[in-house]
Chain A
């Protein structure tokens, strides 16, 4: 008989309790990112995560970087897009291994996908060691800034046609990046884009961000970009 009310069946009496958690909502991604970073460090691979709006010139920057550096260092690329192999094909055409990560709708890459993609890339490498791995994120200035992928540096691209208000409109992308590239500066005379204002706003949001002014078309500033990568590789 029930002790609570004297009826002839047992009530299901459940205890409730409060469990203190106090952990980040992004814990599962952050843990996978830490595991990726450890793996990259063990293999001596420097990892660069490129983020920007769609069409800011990430793939073109990679093509120019590969042309300039592929004879001196070993490069691999993980290409993030919602659909298609197009970008990975552009990279492979330059003679370096690339794996396309299609998110099927998701607007950013996550650490678990990087882990899988890197192992797929290793198959293409066939035992060859990588010096540098570029991750080209899905074109989006919002969501990629939330997800650590295990990279060593995050580089944000802001192109001249997008307008100089981008840093203040997308502060998290600027705050979480270590390098900002202003791209397509060959177009500056055709647009109302104030390079100095862009730099000033970015530095106000992130005083330690390193800013490079570049054009993949004219080659302006690319030497500084290559120097930054070479310094990172020799300093690691």
Chain B
């Protein structure tokens, strides 16, 4: 249930961003969420849709999620590969476990569409 806390923090940030940009309304929020972020997207949207009703500037805001695939790079043979294995992935080139995450841990607000 950390998604509720994350949604509360996001609403605070959106309020700040709207105010800094003299926005009258937030219409769209684009998020980047990696497969390894540990954020349950449906829970986050559910929480945001409930909290936004208390904030007139974003009551009609929608969320679009850009889901980022889990990509590793092998430290032994430099192969880059995408995988669904979130625990103990092995390199598709040389079977090594010595890997670095390239993407998949993202939990970012990418951009916000507003009316000014």
Residues of A bordering B, CB below 8 Å: 14-29, 106-108, 110, 142-143, 145-147, 168, 171-172, 204-205
- Let me know if B113 and A18 touch, CB within 8 A: yes
Binding site secondary structure of chain B: mixed
Contact of B17 among A21, A142, A172 (CB under 8 A): A21
Q: What string of 1s and 0s marks CB contacts (under 8 Å) between B1-17 and chain A?
A: 11011100110110001
With contacts defined as CB atoms under 8 Å apart, how many contacts are there between chain A and chain B in the complex? Answer: 91
B51 at the interface (CB under 8 A from A): no
Chain B min CB distance to A173 (Å): 10
The answer for the CA separation of A21 and B5 in the assembled complex, in Å, is 19
Q: A14-B116, A19-B114, A21-B110 are in contact. Are A172 and B5 (CB under 8 A)?
A: no
Q: Which of A19, A26, A110 has the most chain B CB atoms closer than 10 A to its own CB?
A: A19
10 A-B pairs with least C-beta separation: A143-B2, A14-B115, A28-B9, A21-B109, A25-B107, A19-B112, A20-B111, A146-B2, A172-B38, A16-B115
Chain B contact residues, CB within 8 Å of chain A = 1-2, 4-6, 9-10, 12-13, 17, 21, 23-25, 27, 31, 38-39, 86-88, 97, 107-116
A91 to chain B, nearest CB (A): 26
A5–B108 alpha-carbon span in the complex (Å): 42
- Report A-chain residues with C-beta under 8 Å of the C-beta of B4: 106
Contact B2 A15 (CB under 8 A): no
> When the two chains form their complex, are residues B109 and A17 in contact, meaning their CB atoms are under 8 A apart?
no
Which residue of B has the minimal Cβ distance to A25? B107
The reply to whether A19 and B17 contact each other, CB–CB distance below 8 Å, is: yes
Task: Kindly identify which residue among A19, A108, A205 contacts B5, using a CB–CB cutoff of 8 Å.
Answer: A108
CB-CB < 8 A to A21: which residues of B? 13, 17, 108-112
Given the interface contacts A22-B108, A24-B107, does A147 sit within 8 Å of B5 by beta carbon? yes
Residue of A with least CB distance to B26: A19
B97 contacts across to A, CB distance below 8 A: 204
